[in-house]
Amino acid sequence: MPQPALDAPNVTAPIPRTTAKIRRPSAPRLGVAALWAFAAVPVALALLAAVRAPKMHVLLDYWHVFAKITDDTGHLLLGQVFTYHLDQPFVVPSLLFYVDAAWFGGDNRVLTVLTIALLAVAVFALWTMLPRHLNPATRAALTAAMSWLLFTSHATELWLQSTNGISWVPAVTFCTIAIACAHHGRRAGAYAAAVLGCLSFGAALPIWFVIAFIAWLRKEPRLRVVIPAAAGLVILAAWWLTKPAGTQSGATDAFDPDGRLSVVAAAVGGLWSVDIAVLAVIAGSLTIALLALLLRHTVIHRPAATEAGWAGLACYAVALALMLALGRTTTNVPGGNVGLISRYVLVAALATTALLVLTTVHRPQWPQRYLVVAAVALSLVTHAVGGGKADEVRRSYAPLNLSAIALRVDAPAALDALHIQRAAGPAARALGAYPFNDSFTLGCHGPELGSHLDLTTAQPTPAGALDAPATDAGDITTGWAVVNGTRPDCILITDQTGTVTGGGITGLPLTPGQTPKAAPGATAWQATAGPTNGPLTILAVQGGRLYRIS
């Protein structure tokens, strides 16, 4: 029978559910933004160093190449552009040297800024290779680490003087672009970047085999593996058959397997030492061992295309270290190991970047905060270690500032001492390149070449001396000085009538021979002058006042 209805006087109607908007905390977004800002810091530091560098801070390679590719009227000899320099192809840097002289007045800072821009492109290319499945914080942390590693203070040489920057960085950047294109399966872009790299420097010669390796890891058709490998063999054979005979840059031709092995390890571990080779060798050996462990799984299983480019980057970095060991091993460098030279730290930067990303991909279970802390710590520690290398580089390149004066006054012995070919002078003068333009100055805030000074107003220098009597106006005259507790503004050289025939630079580090004799606060100076008859007068200038040194 039907059941009676139940009264439910206390039962209320159900309350409708409302959806409340929950705001996600802004901390993660702020953290990601902070990491991107952190990534920009080393780039800004490098740019600051580049724009503050002297206008004429170039090495002997610049003048050798410039003299070779130009005639006395400043016209480009295109055939000479395609000849070897230091037994390597040098087309792109040669053209950049000429463009800088012809269009930008030979300003060193133009090429140093270009070097930084190229490295920034390399960072961007590596960023495009980061796996998309990584969260924004992880990608930002890895990008920041890549930026700090490639713009490390170890590499100050690259943005302090342009010769080595433009000689070395274009090839490395084009190879990084080629790796990124191969990683994404863009064959045409990879091949084009590889060709430009090979026209830049010998550092790009291994890139064809790296492209083939990446294609194999990506399980692409066999032809896409064979073509770049075959191209690499042809290019390598052509270079070997046409390169000049003999060794370059003082490199040894001895068998020396242990010495060359130490160069490989030091180049890969260069981020961890200033001038102590054993530290770099240990760090480099550990980096290579860890890369080998990570690549073993990648090579055997070829699990995903996301790892291919990073495996290729690791192989390219090690290949660069091997080339450095084979072609540049010498003991005639600070620390006794060529792998510690400032510009070669890019090898360590690329290897360490590959290690960091591959570790992240292979260990997804590691907490994100650990990765972020590790990336920031790695960035700051390596940059701090490189501070000593940056100071060393600044001291060693400071005398280059005398080059402008030596060229302007045509001082033969000084040009020889600075390894500047006089044959480059006429072309630079015809193009109006620095120092053969109106921007040249002795830095005295008044007197310039050809000015006449009243030598009777010159006061005795409170503290200063010549290292040796100045007998040859065209040679480099050296000494030390301190005026009113600070270094002089500049040094002037006059003939016996008071006409300024030369000048010099101040603020240089004291040599071991000067240190015991110099007064407190003194710095070294160097000067040179053009042809002068009669005795020379050396003057220090401070605040518009003249102080006689000789």
CA distance 311 to 216: 11
CA distances to 33, 119, 126, 184, 313 from 140, rounded to whole Å, are 8, 18, 12, 20, 19
Residues in the chain: 550
For residues 411, 416, 422 and 428, what is the CA-based torsion angle, rounded to 10 degrees?
-80
Strand partners, 493: 502, 538
The bridge status of strand 523-529 relative to strand 500-508 is antiparallel
Contacts (Cβ under 8 Å, ≥6 apart) of 180: 125, 126, 128, 129, 309
Per-residue pLDDT of the chain (550 residues; tens, 9 = 90+): 444 444 444 445 555 554 444 444 455 788 899 999 999 999 999 999 999 988 887 888 888 899 999 999 999 999 999 999 888 899 999 999 999 999 998 888 999 999 999 999 999 999 999 998 899 999 999 999 999 999 999 999 999 988 888 999 999 999 999 999 999 999 999 999 999 999 999 999 999 999 999 999 999 999 999 999 999 999 999 999 988 876 666 666 677 788 889 999 999 999 999 988 899 999 999 999 999 999 988 888 777 678 899 999 999 999 999 999 888 777 777 667 888 889 999 999 999 999 999 999 988 888 888 999 999 999 999 999 999 999 988 888 888 889 999 999 988 888 888 888 888 889 999 999 999 988 899 988 889 999 999 888 888 877 888 887 777 778 899 999 988 888 888 999 998 888 999 999 998 998 888 888 888 888 899 999 988 777 888 999 988 889 888 7
Distance between CA atoms of residues 217 and 312, nearest Å: 9
Q: What is the pLDDT of residue 328?
A: 79
Return d(Cα 362, Cα 504) in angstroms, integer: 57
Predicted pLDDT at 366: 86
Report the C-alpha gap between 350 and 363 in whole angstroms. Answer: 20
User: pLDDT at position 25, please?
Assistant: 46
Given a contact cutoff of 8 angstroms between Cβ atoms, the answer to whether 151 and 119 are in contact is yes
Peptide bond preceding 412 in cis form (omega within 30 of 0): no
Please name which of 494, 472, 487, 485 lies closest in space to residue 550, comparing C-alpha atoms.
494
Q: Order the strands of the 500-508 sheet from edge to edge.
A: 459-460, 545-548, 537-542, 490-494, 500-508, 523-529, 477-482, 463-466
* Structural domain boundaries in the chain: 42-204+387-440, 256-364, 441-548
Whole-model pTM: value is 0.89
- Round to whole Å and give the CA distance between 547 and 358: 62
The CATH number corresponding to 441-548 among 1.20.1280, 2.40.170, 2.60.40, 3.40.1350 equals: 2.60.40
Is residue 483 within 8 A of residue 547, CB to CB? The reply is yes
- The amino acid present at 140, given as its one-letter code, is A
Residue 37: partners with Cβ closer than 8 Å, 6 or more residues away: none
